[in-house]
């Protein structure tokens, strides 16, 4: 009997805890709870009451991160100092060092009692957003955007595709995005991430021409290998000559753009998922294509001829950079050769190589340029989410966003990202200062604050100039790669349902790992037809067909919506003409 009474007391205590927890969630600003219904509370506030600048000083709370060896107190940064003066809003910040963010933010989000009003640099994945939405930890923002965020609303009106990409399958927007447009569709800066660069100083020294086919490219690498002593002497190089350097399966340092010309011409434009979209809008796995098979066979041939760095499968970024800075590379891969080579001089992007075909497949999601759906969230603890959203909307001001993204002007130090100038219309404009010998990454980390923002293509020349390092990269893409982008479609940035997001996250790791493992092993050791058949069998065992069918569903929906928008636009134009 005593035992029975103890169990009852514990059960009653547990029930009371659950009731109190639910009551707290309800009182903390209107989280959607486990239903994920997303009913917005707090939108009854008059927009005039929270319009910036406020008539009376107010305080909100936020959480963000900062790069190591930079200012850890956000309010000491010039950007936030100016924002407080301009808005009359003070932010009480908590911070986490950037390299510790992944581990610590999960703990922060698990305790709703201690959460601030908003997470500025959340960078949440889709599964994160949907999980926190279901738990009622974050609130839906679509109604707040419509009522209190005119700057973001204008961004969505100018580029409606971004609103679509922010909206889940039930019509809710759970986070404020980061948007950085640099080019558009086939000229977008993200279309070619893992750009190949070739040492033209070595080409000239050996009397060689820029290769245009895979056969010519192989002959150039052989010449680099066979003339290593001459190159070391002519360029005063300390260390072995490396004809081709890369980091296999490592984002922008992967070499698989070289195999775009084999077979059907898809290459491997998506190193995370290994998928492509055909011209008839079908999602395929490149690991099942003849082009991938032939391309990996060719890369193995290069490796067996001692043309590829043997450390390509194991080296870290720091090692890769150190060898590049010592001038030892003939060909390498990166977002920008300035990251790897001693200087830009003597290097050029390697054009598309013809094998069976000539093609460059743009990276998936690249047509809409830089986009992060989960950059900033408002938590269910926010007492005045209307005020929080009104302040966050200032980040989307066309003059503010470039500063948050890159840095600012008028700093009390040795270098500024911007100089304050005027555009052709005599209006205030941010002009990128010369980089000089300063590291753009280090200066940007010291000055910028990131968070939610939008820099649209239409801003350049009006509110801000193009960064120098972006300008020359955009020129490279437009002049060298866009003419050879012969495929029609890329896989867009879609927001899946919670169920499909979960299923994709279950299937994708095994599929990706299997392809990555095969690619590395086969480039190094070669493979047989039996090995190829085993890969196909393993992919099916890992539910490749189910994985592709989920992706296909959202691709179909994306283009159906796109067609509907086009039809609607044509109808509006016809109505206006009538």
- Walking along the chain (578 residues) 10 residues at a time, the average pLDDT comes out as 35 39 40 39 88 97 94 95 98 96 95 95 95 96 98 96 94 97 93 96 98 98 98 97 96 94 95 95 98 98 98 95 96 94 94 97 90 97 97 98 95 85 95 78 88 96 91 95 96 94 96 97 98 98 98 94 52 45
Residues 6+ apart with CB under 8 A from 309: 242, 244, 245, 246, 315, 323
Residues 6+ apart with CB under 8 A from 256: 194, 267, 268, 271, 295, 299, 519
Give the tokens for residue 268. Answer: 């491997």
CB 418 within 8 A of CB 430: yes
Residues 391 and 539 in one domain: no
Instruction: With respect to residue 124, please indicate whether it lies within any of the assigned structural domains.
Output: yes
Cα–Cα distance, 202 to 221 (Å, whole number): 11
Give the tokens for residue 79. Answer: 């950007």
How many angstroms from the chain centroid is the CA of residue 173? Answer: 19
Instruction: With respect to residue 550, please indicate whether it lies within any of the assigned structural domains.
Output: yes
Residues 207 and 124 in one domain: no
CB atoms within 10 A of CB 189: 22
Residues 69 and 205 in one domain: no
Residues 86 and 131 in one domain: yes
The number of distinct structural domains making up the chain is 2
Residues 398 and 348 in one domain: no
Sheet holding 58-66, edge to edge: 89-97, 58-66, 118-119, 370-378, 176-180, 453-455
Residue 144 lies in domain: 23-183+371-403
Give the model's pLDDT for residue 562: 62
Give the model's pLDDT for residue 363: 94
C-alpha separations of 284 from 186, 260, 269, 528 in Å = 20, 15, 12, 23
Instruction: With respect to residue 507, please indicate whether it lies within any of the assigned structural domains.
Output: yes
Give the model's pLDDT for residue 315: 95
Residues 234 and 153 in one domain: no
Residues 177 and 300 in one domain: no
Helix/strand/coil for 361 = coil
Return the beta strands (E) in 362-473 as ranges.
370-378, 418-422, 428-432, 453-455
The DSSP secondary structure of 39-107, one letter per residue, reads ---STTS-GGGGPSSPSS-EEEEEEEEE-TTS---GGGSHHHHHHHHHH-EEEEEEEEEGGGHHHHHHH
What is the CATH classification number for the domain harbouring 171? 3.40.190.10
CB 353 within 8 A of CB 261: yes
Residues 6+ apart with CB under 8 A from 53: 86, 87, 88
Residues 97 and 246 in one domain: no
Cα–Cα distance, 76 to 158 (Å, whole number): 34
Give the model's pLDDT for residue 41: 52
pTM: 0.81
Placement of tokens 């941010």 in the chain = 430
Residues 288 and 379 in one domain: no
Residues 233 and 345 in one domain: yes
Give the model's pLDDT for residue 443: 81
Cα–Cα distance, 19 to 13 (Å, whole number): 10
Residues 6+ apart with CB under 8 A from 567: none
Give the model's pLDDT for residue 368: 83
Instruction: With respect to residue 113, please indicate whether it lies within any of the assigned structural domains.
Output: yes
Residues 202 and 328 in one domain: yes
Placement of tokens 């209006």 in the chain = 427
Instruction: With respect to residue 429, please indicate whether it lies within any of the assigned structural domains.
Output: no
Give the model's pLDDT for residue 25: 39
C-alpha separations of 397 from 85, 402, 431, 544 in Å = 15, 9, 17, 44
Residues 260 and 174 in one domain: no
Give the tokens for residue 490. Answer: 């890329």
Helices and strands, number each (H, E), in the chain: 19, 14
Q: Phi first, then psi: what are they for 203, rounded to 5°?
A: -55, -50
The DSSP secondary structure of 298-317, one letter per residue, reads HHHHHHHTT-B-GGGGT--H
Omega within 30 of 0 (cis) for the link into 53: yes
Instruction: With respect to residue 487, please indicate whether it lies within any of the assigned structural domains.
Output: no
Placement of tokens 């984002």 in the chain = 251
Q: Phi first, then psi: what are they for 421, rounded to 5°?
A: -135, -155
Instruction: With respect to residue 397, please indicate whether it lies within any of the assigned structural domains.
Output: yes
Cα–Cα distance, 225 to 241 (Å, whole number): 7
């Amino acid at each position: 009997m005593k035992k029975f009474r103890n169990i009852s007391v514990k059960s009653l205590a547990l029930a009371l805890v659950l009731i109190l927890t639910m009551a707290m969630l309800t009182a903390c600003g209107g989280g959607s709870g486990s239903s994920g219904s997303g009913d917005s509370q707090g939108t009854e506030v008059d927009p005039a009451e929270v319009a910036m600048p406020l008539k009376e000083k107010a305080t909100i709370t936020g959480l963000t991160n900062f790069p190591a060896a930079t200012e850890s107190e956000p309010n000491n940064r010039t950007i936030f100092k100016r924002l407080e003066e301009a808005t009359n809003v003070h932010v009480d910040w908590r911070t986490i060092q950037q390299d510790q963010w992944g581990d610590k933010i999960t703990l922060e989000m698990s305790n709703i009692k201690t959460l601030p009003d908003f997470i500025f640099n959340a960078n949440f994945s889709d599964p994160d957003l949907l999980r926190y939405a279901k738990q009622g930890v974050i609130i839906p923002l679509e109604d707040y955007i419509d009522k209190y965020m005119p700057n973001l609303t204008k961004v969505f009106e100018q580029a409606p595709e971004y609103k679509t990409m922010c909206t889940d399958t039930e019509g809710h927007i759970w986070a404020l995005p980061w948007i950085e447009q640099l080019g558009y569709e086939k000229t977008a800066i993200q279309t070619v991430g893992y750009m190949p660069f070739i040492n033209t100083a070595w080409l000239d020294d050996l009397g060689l021409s820029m290769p245009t086919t895979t056969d010519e490219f192989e002959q150039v690498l052989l010449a680099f290998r066979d003339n290593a002593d001459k190159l070391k002497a002519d360029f005063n190089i300390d260390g072995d000559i490396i004809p081709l350097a890369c980091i296999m399966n490592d984002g922008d340092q992967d070499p698989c753009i070289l195999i775009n010309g084999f077979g059907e011409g898809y290459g491997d434009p998506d190193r995370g998922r290994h998928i492509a979209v055909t011209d008839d809008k079908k999602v395929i796995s490149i690991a099942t294509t003849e082009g991938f098979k032939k391309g990996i066979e060719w890369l193995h041939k290069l490796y067996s001829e001692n043309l590829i760095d043997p450390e390509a499968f194991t080296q870290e970024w720091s090692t890769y950079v150190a060898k590049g800075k010592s001038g030892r590379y003939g060909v390498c891969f990166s977002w920008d050769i300035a990251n790897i080579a001693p200087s830009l001089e003597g290097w050029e992007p390697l054009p598309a190589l013809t094998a069976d075909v000539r093609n460059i497949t743009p990276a998936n999601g690249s047509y809409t340029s830089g986009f992060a759906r989960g950059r900033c969230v408002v938590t269910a603890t926010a007492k005045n989410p209307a005020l929080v959203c009104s302040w966050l909307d200032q980040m989307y001001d066309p003059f503010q966003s470039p500063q948050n993204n890159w840095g600012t002007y008028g700093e009390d130090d040795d270098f500024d990202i911007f100089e304050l100038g005027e555009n052709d219309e005599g209006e205030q404009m941010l002009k990128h200062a010369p980089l000089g010998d300063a590291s753009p990454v280090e200066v940007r980390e010291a000055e910028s604050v990131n968070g939610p923002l939008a820099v649209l293509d239409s801003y350049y020349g009006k509110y801000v100039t193009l960064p120098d390092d972006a300008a020359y990269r955009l020129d490279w893409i437009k002049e060298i790669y866009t003419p050879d982008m012969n495929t029609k479609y890329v896989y867009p940035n879609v927001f899946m349902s919670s169920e499909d997001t979960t299923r994709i996250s279950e299937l994708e790791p095994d599929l990706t790992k299997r392809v990555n493992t095969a690619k590395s092993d086969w480039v190094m050791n070669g493979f047989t037809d039996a090995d190829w058949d085993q890969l196909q069998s393993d992919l099916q065992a890992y539910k490749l067909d189910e994985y592709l069918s989920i992706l296909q569903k959202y691709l179909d929906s994306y283009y159906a919506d796109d067609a509907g928008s086009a039809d609607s636009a044509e109808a509006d134009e016809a109505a206006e003409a009538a």
